Structure 1
Amino acid sequence: MAVKRTKKPLSKRRRTPVTAVVPDAGPGLHPGKQSLLPNIHSSDVPDPLSVLKSLTPSGAETTSTTSSLLTIKSSKAVARKKSSLATAQLIRRYHTLNKELSKCLARIESNNSKSTSGLRQGAIQSQQQTATDLARIAEIRQEMDDLGGLDMYQKASTLGQSKQRGGDSSKWLIPILENCHPQLDKKAGPALRLLDIGALSPHNYQKYSSWIRTTPIDLNPQDPLITKMDFLEMPVPAQKGDLFDVVCLSLVVNFVGDPTQRGEILRHSARFLVPGTGILYLVLPLPCIQNSRYMDHELLVEMMDSLSYSTLVSHHFAKKLAYYAFKLDITPKDRRNQPKKSNQPLFPKKLRHDKPNRNK
């Protein structure tokens, strides 16, 4: 009859002392001999960290080392988040100051015209308002200087379009151009001519240089390859062959504080494009379209139609940006030489969405 052997409880099992292989420490120890660490003379015992490393499998890390690496990675992530937040705050603040500056300048110009043609009481009020605006302009410009001025704003914007922050917004445009020009020979054919207004980098389209030839311009270039130019002062091409196939206005229109100048930038862009095939690439902050009291997608499309951009080729709403591609009509509707029927603007400021937390 077989007797079933029972296992001893874990608490009663004999435990074998853990031994460590101690390297050759001189004539007192035989090479390769195993010994219990307590029986070794203190002068012959290696550093505890060295013993721990010798018992750690190759490629593994100690708990303390792993913890340190995680701490470093976490610190870097926090630093990147803080840097991104600081960049966004600087850009937003500079935008706000720039818009307020434009409003002050517009009021001063309006008050000057009133003071020369209005009544005495109105002239006094205009002068008082002008004095207030001038004082505020000085404060605004001082704060802009404290932020680093336009140069620092441009650097922050350049950092914002880095690969670590999501890359530049030109990537969305490439498939649009490929669909609009299916017969384009990317290797041997003539390249598309692209005017990049407010360019932060001259290399945004470098990957496609075999079929896109870029002319980057900006008020305050951050690269010597970008031409210093005010787009509103840029001469219109005299020859049809000098017109552009693409005009890019990526986060440019929203930077301008004066609404009249914003409209003029859009109108001026049509004079640089090839009629019938020219593409206007327009990028705006998403809140300008979806969180405004006075603007939305439908109104923007209607406004662009009045400027001869009757075909909305494509549009896309991302997490923070609104992308638009408009095609220019064959016959642009240039209103410069048309008589004005009244002093009222074509699209007067009108409340469209009266909801809490909407911007202006």
Structure 2
Amino acid sequence: MVVKKTKRPMGKRKRAPVTAAAPDTGPGSVTAKQGALTTISAAAMTDPVSLLMSLTPSGAETTSTTSSLLTVKSSKAVARKKSSLATAQLIRRYHTLNKELSKCLARIDGSKYSSSTGSDQRRRQTADQTAVDLTRIAEIRQEMDDLGGLDMYQKASTLGQSKQRGGDSSKWLIPILESCHPELNKKAGPALKLLDIGALSPHNYQKYSSWIHTVPIDLNPQDPLITKMDFLEMPVPTDREKLFDVVCLSLVVNFVGDPTQRGEILRYSTRFLVPGTGVLYLVLPLPCIENSRYMDHELLVKMMSSLGYTTLVSHHFAKKLAYYAFRLDISPAEKELSSRAKSGTTQPLFPKKLRHDKPNRNNFCVILV
């Protein structure tokens, strides 16, 4: 069945009568628009930023404002990236200067023995090298001061561990401690005692304060809640009750320029932990492990085992950092006597030795005496 469409009869449209009208002064009128433009021009001369924020109703104006906001956001991102690069460069440069300073000081210290022995030529060479080192030490310390000194380095490091840049490294440790202490009653039991060496913030473990009691120390504290202390001068606890359950060395060992002192810090840490259950939390830049001529994962594990850290509880290689958790299974006194008895020598247990002779590698190493 086909339905035929019927056409409506076309009639004449009536036009509205043309009459004289009063001037239009409504919100959309020409007069109102001209007045608004005058007001806008005056506002633009006095406060252009507020003007931009007020003109965001819809349509093209909203698109224009959104574009402006995106430009501002992009500018902030670029500025943040530049700030991050500047912070990283300052930290790297300070590390480089600190290592060179340690080498110069070590040579001068060694020259005290050389100057009293050997031939006249050898003594003259030692004296000349000492003069060169003293000059270089003055230059290094001046450049460190120009960078802002240790205080500026600490501030840059604090900025580097901010939440916007990945946060501190403590979050990796928490599951490890929970696995090592499954019997721990976080609400009623005694809290774990944690020594945070080189602490940049006293609040790294604040979320876990119900079961972790933190003692933060640093050479140059950036917070009044951090105790000013050189770890190697910290008194060793004589009472077992005052020993720590956890010692944190996060990005501390690599900061020390002298390889022998790095080993001394690791050895000294054994005296602050509860034997059998104490955990050492060690964090190093990944290139110290994977791109060094003198160090790698296997050697580090052997070194730590020689100190009594015979159990590697866990380790993890992230993009830039290497995380380690070692358990102190043997008391430091027993382990030291055993190691010395076996070696039968006063030579370093782990001297500086080339392991990876490849180009573009760094010279990070640890010497255990």
> Following TM superposition, by how much is the alpha carbon of 1:212 offset from its aligned partner in structure 2, in angstroms?
0.4
The answer for the alignment partner of 2:358 in structure 1 is 355
Report if aligned partners of 2:284, 2:321 keep a CA contact under 8 Å in 1.
yes
State whether residues 195 and 244 of structure 1, in contact with CA within 8 Å, keep that contact through their aligned partners in structure 2: yes
User: Does the aligned pair in 2 maintain the 1:197–1:252 contact within 8 Å?
Assistant: yes
Q: CA deviation at 1:45?
A: 6.4
For the structure 1 residues 278 and 54, does the alpha-carbon distance in structure 2 shift closer, same or farther, using more than 3 Å as the test?
A: closer
CA distance in 1, matches of 2:354, 2:218: 33
**CA distance in structure 2 between the aligned counterparts of 1:142 and 1:55, rounded to whole angstroms:** 54
Aligned length, in residue pairs: 332
> How far, CA to CA, are the matches of 2:56 and 2:110 in structure 1?
82
Residue in 1 that maps onto 2:126? 126
Q: Secondary structure at the match of 2:336?
A: coil
CA shift digits 1:117-147 (9 cap, x unpaired): 2221111110000000000000000000000
**Does residue 1:28 correspond to 2:23, yes or no?**
yes
The CA deviation at 1:337 is 10
Q: For 1:267 and 1:54, locate their aligned partners in 2 and report how far apart those are by CA, in whole Å.
A: 67
The 5 Å alignment of 1:22-61 reads 28-29=23-24, 40=30, 44=34, 46-47=36-37, 56-57=57-58
Stretch moving more, 109-118 or 224-233: 109-118
Give, in whole Å, the separation in 1 of the partners of 2:224 and 2:77: 32
1:211 and 1:84, CA in 2 relative to 1: closer, same or farther beyond 3 A?
same
Q: Which runs of 5+ in 1 are unaligned?
A: 6-25
The change in CA–CA distance for 1:45 and 1:182 in structure 2 (over 3 A counts) is same
Deviation at 1:62, TM superposition (A): 2.4
1:154-198 deviation per Cα after TM superposition (whole angstroms, max 9, x unaligned): 000000011011100000000000000001010010000000000
The answer as to 2:146 corresponding to 1:153 is no
> Does 2:205 match 1:210?
no
* Letter in structure 1 aligned against 2:24: L
Task: Provide the residue aligned with 2:77 in structure 1.
Answer: 77
Per-residue CA distance 1:290-346 (angstroms, 9 max, x = gap): 111111101100110001000000000111100000000133312599477445321
* Amino acid in the other structure paired with 1:247: V
CA displacement at 1:356 relative to structure 2 = 2.3
Counterpart Cα distance in 2 of 1:134 and 1:285: 30
How far apart, CA to CA, are the structure 2 residues paired with 1:83 and 1:204?
Answer: 23
The separation in 1 between residues aligned to 2:239 and 2:360, in whole angstroms, is: 48
One-letter identity of the residue aligned with 1:160: G
Amino acid at match of 1:90: L
Range moving further from structure 2, 197-206 or 349-358: 349-358
Code of the aligned partner of 1:76: K
**Mapped contact 2:25–2:32 kept (Cα < 8 A):** no
> Following superposition of structure 1 onto structure 2, how do residues 125-144 of structure 1 map, counting pairs within 5 Å?
125-144=125-144
**Equivalent position to 2:348, from 341, 345, 350:** 345
Query: Are 1:89 and 2:89 an aligned pair?
Result: yes
Asked whether 1:278 is paired with 2:268, we answer no
Distance (whole Å) between structure 2 residues aligned to residue 209 and residue 237 of structure 1: 23
> Is the 8 Å Cα contact of residues 191 and 213 (structure 2) preserved in structure 1?
yes
Matched with 2:307 is 307
Q: Structure 1 residues 67, 48: CA separation in 2 closer, same or farther (over 3 Å shift)?
A: farther
- CA distance 1:27–1:241, shift in 2 (3 Å): farther
Cα 1:55–1:329, aligned 2, differ >3 Å: closer, same or farther? closer
Unpaired segments ≥5 residues, structure 2: 8-20, 41-53, 364-369
Partner of 2:317: 317
Q: Which amino acid aligns with 1:349?
A: K
Instruction: Provide the residue aligned with 1:23 in structure 2.
Output: none
2:238: which partner in 1? 238
Q: CA RMSD of the aligned region, Å?
A: 2.7
Distance 1:47 1:342 in 2: 92
Any runs of at least 4 consecutive aligned residues in structure 1 with deviations exceeding 6 A, and if so which?
none
Given that 1:194 and 1:244 are in contact with CA atoms closer than 8 Å, whether structure 2 keeps it comes out as yes
Name the CA distance, whole Å, in 2 between partners of 1:293 and 1:43.
Answer: 76
Q: Could you list the per-position Cα deviations for residues 17-49 of structure 1 after superposition, in whole angstroms to 9, with x for gaps in the alignment?
A: xxxxxxxxx9622768x8xx7xx4697564399
Q: Is the 1:112–1:126 contact (alpha carbons within 8 Å) kept by the matching residues of 2?
A: no
Gap change, CA 1:61 and 1:170, over 3 Å in 2: farther
- What is the CA-CA distance between 1:54 and the residue it aligns to? 9.0
TM-score by length of 1: 0.86
Aligned in 2, Cα 1:112/1:29: closer, same or farther, shift over 3 Å? Answer: same
1:231 Cα offset (Å)? 0.5
Alignment of 1:185-224 (within 5 A): 185-224=185-224
Q: Is the 8 A contact 2:246 2:278 kept in 1?
A: yes
Residue aligning to 1:107: 107
- C-alpha separation in 2, matches of 1:253 and 1:285: 10
In 1, are the aligned partners of 2:151 and 2:220 still within 8 Å (CA)? Answer: yes
Equivalent residue letter for 2:362: N
Are 2:306 and 2:339, in contact at CA under 8 Å, matched by a contact in 1? Answer: no
Question: Could you say which residue in structure 1 is the equivalent of 2:11?
Answer: none
